[in-house]
Amino acid sequence: MTTILHLDSSARPGRSGAQPHGSHTRRLTARFLERYRQLDSETEVIYRDLGAEPPAPVTGNWVHAAFTPPAAREPWMAEVLAQSDQLVDELLRADIIVAGVPMYNFGPPAQFKAWIDNIVRIGRTFGFDRARPGEPYWPLLADAGKQLVILSSRGDYGYGPGQRLEGLNHVEASVRSAFRYIGVEQAFSAAIEYDEFGDERLARSIAEAEQATDRLAEAIAARRAPDAARRVA
Shortest Å, Cβ 111 to ligand FMN: 11
Shortest Å, Cβ 199 to ligand FMN: 14
Shortest Å, Cβ 165 to ligand FMN: 8
Shortest Å, Cβ 110 to ligand FMN: 9
Shortest Å, Cβ 210 to ligand FMN: 14
Separation of CA 96 from chain center: 9
Q: Using CA atoms, how far apart are residues 77 and 81, in angstroms rounded to an integer?
A: 6
Under rule CB under 6 A, how many of the chain's residues touch ligand FMN?
Answer: 16
Binding residues for ligand FMN restricted to 83-122, rule: CB under 6 A: 102-106
Per-residue mark of binding to ligand FMN, 157-196 (x: CB under 6 A): --------------------------------------x-
Q: Using CA atoms, how far apart are residues 186 and 184, in angstroms rounded to an integer?
A: 6
Binder of ligand FMN out of 13, 127, 139, 155 (CB under 6 A): 155
- Look at residues 152, 176, 49, 170 and name the one whose alpha carbon lies nearest to residue 102: 152
Question: With binding defined as CB under 6 A, does residue 10 bind ligand FMN?
Answer: yes
Q: In this complex, which beta carbon is closest to ligand FMN, that of residue 101 or of residue 141?
A: 101
3-class secondary structure per residue, the chain: CEEEEEEECCCCCCECCCCCCCEHHHHHHHHHHHHHHHHCCCEEEEEEECCCCCCCCCCHHHHHHHCCCHHHCCHHHHHHCHHHHHHHHHHHHCCEEEEECCCECCECCHHHHHHHHHHCCECCCEEECCCCCCCCEEECCCCCCCEEEEEEECCCCCCCCCCCCHHHCCCHHHHHHHHHHHCCCEEEEEEECCCCCCCHHHHHHHHHHHHHHHHHHHHHHHHHCCCHHHHHC
Question: With binding defined as CB under 6 A, does residue 149 bind ligand FMN?
Answer: no
Q: Is 103 annotated as a binding residue?
A: yes
Per-residue mark of binding to ligand FMN, 13-52 (x: CB under 6 A): ----------xxxx--------------------------
Shortest Å, Cβ 100 to ligand FMN: 6
Question: With binding defined as CB under 6 A, does residue 205 bind ligand FMN?
Answer: no
Interaction site with ligand FMN (CB under 6 A): 10, 12, 23-26, 102-106, 153-156, 195
Q: Which residues are annotated as a binding site for FMN?
A: 10, 103-106
